[in-house]
């Protein structure tokens, strides 16, 4: 039987505080953009993106032993600006 070890709440609080501090240290880019790259993922709903992130995390856990699945993110989720748009067709 598998037993999972979940970190204490302080771990998650510290992780969140580090992310907030890192975000506060970001300097806004006020330069005019010369080129724009647009990634458009058709059919990438929340469940698909979550499944892809979990799969990537599980693969990384086998390769890098000291990483948790929850710490893994996809490249487009780490960009400065990203959006999720839902379109409903009647």
Give the per-residue pLDDT at 2.
62
Give the per-residue pLDDT at 66.
73
Give the per-residue pLDDT at 21.
92
Residue with tokens 């999972």: 4
pTM for the full predicted model: 0.53
Residue numbers of the chain with a pLDDT score lower than 50: none
Q: Average pLDDT over the chain, rounded to whole?
A: 81
Give the per-residue pLDDT at 17.
92
Give the per-residue pLDDT at 1.
59
Give the residue among 45, 47, 54 at the shortest CA–CA distance from 72.
Answer: 54
Q: Where are the alpha helices (DSSP H) in 1-90?
A: 9-24, 46-63
């Amino acid at each position: 039987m598998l037993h999972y070890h979940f970190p204490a709440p302080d771990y998650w609080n510290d992780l969140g505080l580090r992310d907030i501090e890192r975000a506060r240290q970001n300097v806004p880019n006020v330069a005019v953009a010369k080129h724009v790259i647009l990634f458009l993922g058709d059919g990438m709903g929340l469940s698909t993106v979550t499944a892809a992130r979990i799969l990537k995390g599980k693969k990384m856990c086998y390769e890098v032993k000291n990483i948790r699945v929850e710490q893994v993110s996809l490249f487009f989720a780490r960009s400065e600006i990203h959006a999720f748009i839902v379109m409903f067709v009647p």
